[in-house]
Amino acid sequence: MTTPLKAISFDLWDTIIDDDSDEPKRRAQGLRSKREERRYLLWQALCKHQAVALEDVTLAFDTADAAFNKVWREHTITWTIGERLRVVLQGLGRALPDDEFADLAGRLGRMEIDIPPNAIAGIEPALKELSAQFKLCIVSDAIVTPGRDLRTLLDHHGLRGYFTGFAFSDEVGHSKPHPSIFEAAARQLGVKVAEMVHVGDREHNDIKGPQALGMKAVLFTAKRADDKPGTAADAVCERAGDLPAVVGSLAH
């Protein structure tokens, strides 16, 4: 007998929020890219105490980012921005006073709040319709912006109210496709994992991960279709407006 679907978990980036759609806004305001600004702000903070070359700060930050990516992909753990900063400072042989360190980590983590990226076109009415039939949860890796600020980003777009659960990797302790992040979502929603369908744009994280737990999975390709050829997804959705029909087909 087929297990009835009672809940939907959603990836955040390029499924609910258009990743890096804030970069054109930054350029229009004459600002550095987020990547460049993070390195500049750390350099500026260090130079208050002792001069250091911006090139050295950039190299140390790039090295820490490479280490972050390795840990993320091989161990399904996302370091917080504070943990990443400590790796950068260790590489430089430098330190910052605790209050300055906390302020800098907060500023780096809030960049996507200060200048928010756009919501995916058509996602709000789709969530409104789906939330009338299913419990909804966000299941997302927190790459730089912490979960508490990602909730604020959803508030900014008027989307947070559609979700009754939030499983962010910095709060759960593991990132997708680790089972614990999907299990955390199920616990928050009061359903079994097998009663959920997950929607996301990446085959490894959003399709194979949940399917290994007995969930159904929808590959969402409105912004990123790299994984569409050969996908093992139970369904493919190309537009946010089609999500209710696609999920409905799986539910029945």
What pLDDT sits at residue 2? 67
The secondary structure of 182-221, three-state, reads HHHHHHHHCCCHHHEEEEECCHHHHHHHHHCCCCEEEEEC
What digits encode the pLDDT tens for the residues 157-182? 999 999 999 999 999 999 999 999 99
Q: Are strands 196-200 and 135-140 parallel, antiparallel or unpaired?
A: unpaired
Query: What letter does residue 169 receive in the DSSP assignment?
Result: H
- Give the pLDDT confidence score for residue 3 in this predicted structure: 76
- Whether the CB-CB separation of 205 and 176 falls below 8 Å is answered with yes
Which has the closest alpha carbon to 126: 215, 217, 239, 233? 239
Amino acid residing at 35: R
Beta-bridged to residue 165, according to DSSP, are: 137
Best CA proximity match to 157, nearest among 108, 107, 198, 123: 123
What's the pTM?
A: 0.93
CB neighbour burial string for 56-73, b if at least 16 within 10 angstroms, e if fewer: ebbebbeebbeebeebbe
Sequence ranges of the domains in the chain: 7-20+118-251, 23-114
Residues in the chain with pLDDT values less than 70: 1-2
Check whether domain 7-20+118-251 has CATH 3.40.50.1000, yes or no = yes
Q: Is 166 left (phi over 0), alpha (psi -120 to 50) or beta?
A: beta
